[in-house]
């Protein structure tokens, strides 16, 4: 099973350049997000999981993406304010990225390769596709956009 390269550079929503090494030894749920999507209320479920399991080693990493129906048109500031005001998001959010095509961010290149979708498809189909990564960095599985955060709680518990 493939492992996520924790030295992969990322930029936080506030503009800080960093990498994933701060999450070494943690269970990760990595999600491409959008503020104007029918699935946006999943922020509520993601935040509930984060509040319940963060102290046990869960990190949820949000990566806004505007590739699906232009449903994340705002600036990083707009996204941050939306997430805080509407859903009280306290888990780490990152700068807007691409998850498909030539500009696919390195994190999602790794995730898609290691955990393909239905029938082996590599592409991300829509906002709120979720990837579960074990404490040792092994990319465990992919969850469809329609899979609600509460429906993957047992999978998260198994990794903690």
Known catalytic residues are 37
Tokens 């498909």 belong to 100
Angstrom distance (rounded) from CA 32 to CA 7: 19
Q: Give which of 49, 19, 77 is closest to 153, Cα–Cα.
A: 49
- β partners of residue 98: 104
Residue 117, sorted as left (phi over 0), alpha (psi -120 to 50) or beta, turns out to be beta
């Amino acid at each position: 099973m493939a492992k996520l390269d924790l030295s992969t550079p990322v930029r936080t929503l506030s503009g800080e350049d960093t990498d994933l090494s701060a999450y070494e030894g943690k269970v990760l749920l990595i999600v491409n997000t959008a503020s104007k999507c029918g699935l946006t209320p999943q922020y509520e479920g993601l935040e509930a999981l984060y509040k319940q399991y963060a102290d046990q080693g869960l990190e949820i990493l949000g990566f806004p993406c505007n590739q699906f129906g232009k449903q994340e048109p705002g600036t990083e500031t707009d996204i941050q304010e939306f997430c805080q005001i509407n859903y009280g998001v306290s888990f780490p959010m990152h700068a807007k990225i691409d998850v498909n095509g030539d500009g696919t961010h390195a994190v999602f290149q790794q995730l898609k390769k290691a955990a393909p979708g239905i029938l082996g498809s590599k592409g991300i189909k829509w906002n709120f596709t979720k990837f579960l990564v074990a404490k040792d960095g092994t990319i465990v599985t992919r969850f469809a956009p329609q899979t609600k955060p509460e429906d993957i709680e047992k999978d998260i518990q198994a990794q903690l």
